[in-house]
């Protein structure tokens, strides 16, 4: 089983930035992370494709309709009604052809979260993935060659990431932290099959998550397992209720869990948005002016928590982030005014 994962250099850049945010924002973390990662409610987020044919592009766009039907944001795939073609981007681009840049040519599935897709500090080293114009921000590996079963659910999962959703198994209100069987069973003898996958040993003792994911095809070190699976028990982070029906909840092999059936295991079909997913979309991208005004008030709180100097200008250590945040506050104000009109 191969899990979705961003390249290591991209994960490292995100972790460095997020540590800075935590140190700068203090108690406003939950609003800082949510509001900076969120696209502006009521806005249009442009999508473009690197490869794949027009039928694949049309199918991807169709699968995301379930998302945009549920919230106040539009995904624009740039379809030309006359030709039936969709917007494309290239790795040579120096200006953004789109906010979300889709590819099918890399291994596996992944997406940057929300506005990380246009954060130029991510992938600044020039790798294939990042927040710069010529870098992939969302990948659906080998869809151009062979789509897997239930491919629509994977599309919705990755596009929810692109709209600022995180994984449900990392929700501190869930049970996954305690339900996951992190370590090997006592006296397990590391045993791999012909493909390099860790399996039960001759006595039937099973590997734990750390050992299993260290083998093929993932080859993850412990730090990467922690980043992708562990729950961060931070009292400053506001999370919604754990939703076992969410398309954002991984469907793991049964031996990952301590109990059967596990309270952490998904109960949805993995294809369609759950009621909880739809509620989350409405919270991130509300429709009413009052709800948008509430987002603006929260953004103001975070801006103050980051801090400014005596003249009201950004501190030197946080200038770019504060400027970006002020721009997002301004966009929220504009959205509210447009709604009032």
DSSP labels for 277-303? HHHHHHHHS--SHHHHHHHHHHHHHHH
Least Cα distance to 38 among 294, 230, 274, 227 occurs for 294
Residue 325: its pLDDT value, please?
52
Residue 49: its pLDDT value, please?
98
Residue 174: its pLDDT value, please?
83
Residue 235: its pLDDT value, please?
42
Distance in angstroms (rounded) separating the CA atoms of residues 144 and 13: 29
- Contact, 258 vs 180, CB < 8 A? yes
Burial of 286 (0-12, 13-18, 19+ CB in 10 A): buried
CATH topology for 8-165 is Collagenase (Catalytic Domain) (3.40.390)
Q: Is 111 left (phi over 0), alpha (psi -120 to 50) or beta?
A: beta
Least Cα distance to 319 among 39, 121, 132, 94 occurs for 121
Residue 62: its pLDDT value, please?
97
Residue 324: its pLDDT value, please?
56
Taking the whole predicted model, whether its pTM rises above 0.85 is answered as no
Residue 190: its pLDDT value, please?
96
Residue 238: its pLDDT value, please?
45
Burial of 165 (0-12, 13-18, 19+ CB in 10 A): buried
Least Cα distance to 284 among 158, 155, 161 occurs for 161
pLDDT tens track, the chain, 341 positions: 666 778 878 877 777 666 655 555 544 434 334 556 788 888 999 999 999 999 999 999 999 999 999 999 999 999 999 999 999 999 999 999 999 999 999 988 999 999 999 988 888 888 999 999 999 999 999 999 999 888 999 999 999 999 988 888 887 778 899 999 999 999 999 999 999 999 999 999 999 999 999 999 989 989 889 888 888 654 434 457 788 999 999 888 899 999 999 999 999 999 999 999 998 888 888 877 776 677 666 656 655 554 543 333 444 444 555 555 555 545 555 555 555 45
């Amino acid at each position: 089983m191969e899990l979705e994962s961003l390249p290591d250099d991209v994960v490292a850049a995100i972790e460095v930035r997020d540590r800075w945010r935590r140190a700068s924002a203090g108690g406003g973390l939950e609003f800082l992370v949510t509001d900076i990662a969120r696209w502006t409610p009521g806005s249009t987020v442009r999508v473009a494709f690197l490869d794949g044919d027009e039928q694949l592009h049309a199918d991807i766009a169709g699968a995301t309709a379930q998302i945009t039907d549920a919230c106040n944001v539009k995904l624009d795939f740039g379809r030309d009604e006359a030709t039936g073609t969709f917007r494309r981007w290239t790795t040579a681009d120096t200006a953004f052809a789109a906010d979300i840049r889709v590819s099918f040519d890399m291994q596996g599935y992944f997406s940057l979260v929300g506005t990380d897709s246009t954060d130029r500090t991510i992938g600044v080293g020039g790798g294939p993935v990042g927040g710069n114009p010529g870098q992939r921000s969302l990948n659906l590996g080998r869809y151009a060659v062979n789509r897997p079963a239930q491919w629509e659910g994977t599309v919705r999962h990755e596009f929810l990431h692109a709209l600022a959703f995180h994984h449900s198994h990392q929700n501190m209100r869930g049970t996954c932290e305690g339900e996951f069987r992190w370590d090997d069973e006592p006296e397990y003898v590391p045993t791999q099959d012909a493909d390099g996958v860790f399996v039960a040993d001759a006595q039937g003792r099973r590997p734990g998550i750390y050992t299993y994911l260290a083998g093929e095809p993932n080859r993850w070190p412990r730090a990467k397992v922690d980043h992708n699976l562990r729950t961060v028990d931070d009292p400053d982070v506001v999370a919604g209720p754990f939703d076992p029906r969410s398309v954002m909840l991984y469907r793991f092999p049964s031996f990952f869990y301590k109990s059967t059936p596990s309270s952490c295991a998904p109960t949805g079909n993995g294809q369609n948005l759950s009621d909880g997913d739809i509620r989350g979309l409405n919270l991130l991208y509300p429709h009413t002016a009052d709800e948008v005004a509430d987002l603006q008030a929260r953004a103001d709180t975070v801006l103050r928590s980051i801090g400014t100097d005596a003249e009201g200008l950004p501190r030197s250590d946080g200038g770019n982030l504060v400027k970006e945040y002020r721009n997002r506050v301004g966009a929220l104000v504009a959205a509210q005014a447009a709604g009032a009109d």
